[in-house]
Amino acid sequence: MHSTLAQSAPPALTSIAKGKELALFLDFDGTLVEIADGPDEIAPIAGLADRLARLADRFDGRCALVSGRGIDNIEHHLGTVSIAIAGSHGSDIRFASGKGMGQGARSLPSEIEAELRAFSHEHGVEYEHKSHGGALHYRRNPEMGERAVTFAKELAAKHGWKAQGGKCVIEILEKGSDKGSAVRSFMKDAPFAGSCPIFIGDDLTDEAGFAACQELGGVGILVGKRADTCAGYRLADVSSVHNWLEIE
């Protein structure tokens, strides 16, 4: 990873693609919505789903949400999302038409979930059930972070799944999918095929999306101040993202 360009703001949305058709891939938490103490405590801006639909219309449908949350969870907070969306770290993909891709997210085996729930109860961290896995959140109890991460990694390895870290969270999910694979899947088909992809995200899990966009002739935009990144540009915060996208 490198960060030589990631400290500069991107050029205007209308000029960043240098005359090419632009495709936007947008992370959710920490990018479009402020991170909250718990995953169910987020407060999206009013009408966010409609704002994103209008943004997608500006780019002839070439706009997709790419999130670690399940699609059902995002729609619980936003209402129906009419743009393309990849949930569960890319393992559950749905085009704007409603057409799905692949077999969807695989549920966490009951024995893994039981151990995660037991750890959560015993050590005072929050367990989040996901359609594609399970997560331990330690934002309210940061001193338990290292122990939670070690536990989850060992548990995932024992069962042949993978552990993936983020901001005050460690989750267990099936191997094989990430945000980069979601970008590549979208870019194979209309309306995304042949366009210049831009990925905006804030967390370590978004690096795969940045890298995929670079491989396809585009660029990543990091939200926040993290140093190690392959993103080409940086925006300061969620408000800056809304402003750059002209959805504020």
Residues serving a catalytic function are 27
Q: Let me know: does 95 contact 86? Beta carbons within 8 Å.
A: no
Measured between alpha carbons, how far is 46 from 23 in angstroms, rounded to an integer?
24
Q: 97 Cβ partners below 8 Å, 6+ apart?
A: none
Taking alpha carbons only, the member of 91, 116, 96 closest to residue 24 is: 96
Q: Let me know: does 130 contact 88? Beta carbons within 8 Å.
A: yes
Q: Let me know: does 84 contact 94? Beta carbons within 8 Å.
A: yes
Measured between alpha carbons, how far is 134 from 68 in angstroms, rounded to an integer?
11
Single-letter amino acid code for the residue at 168: C
- Residues counted in the chain: 248
Q: Let me know: does 23 contact 13? Beta carbons within 8 Å.
A: no
Placement of tokens 């504020």 in the chain: 248
Measured between alpha carbons, how far is 54 from 245 in angstroms, rounded to an integer?
11
Count of Cβ atoms closer than 10 Å to residue 97 Cβ: 9
Q: Using DSSP, state whether 219 is helix, strand or coil.
A: strand
